[in-house]
Amino acid sequence: MSCCGKKREELSQNLSSQKVAGSYIPAKSWEDVLFEYTGPTGLTVKGIVSRNIYRFNSTGDTQLVDYRDASGMLALPMLKRVSMLT
């Protein structure tokens, strides 16, 4: 019969190494997404998942959007996804 205590200890150490100032910082599953504003005036959008506020001041402004909010941003006709140069 094997003991799972060592596996629990390893998991605990991995989780504690991700702690910063008493809170966990989860690893991101995907990269954030760059969006460009094509509308004529400013636009403020609240992310549907992250609840981040994204402000586009004028035509051509770009914002890096949390990947979890990207699908909601795609529903707005005045925002378009743009590729990031790496």
Q: For the segment 35-44, what is each residue's pLDDT rounded down to a tens digit? A: 999 999 999 9
pLDDT of 83 reads 83
pLDDT of 4 reads 59
Do residues 57 and 44 make contact, with C-beta atoms less than 8 angstroms apart? no
Phi-psi region of 54 (alpha: psi -120 to 50; beta: other; left: phi over 0): beta
- The tally of domains found in the chain comes to 1
Could you report how far apart the first and last alpha carbons of the chain are, in Å?
50
pLDDT at 86 over 80: no
pLDDT at 51 over 80: yes
pLDDT at 30 over 60: yes
Pairing assessment for the beta strands 19-20 and 23-24 based on DSSP bridges: antiparallel
Give the range of the structural domain holding residue 57, as residue numbers without chain letter. Answer: 5-82
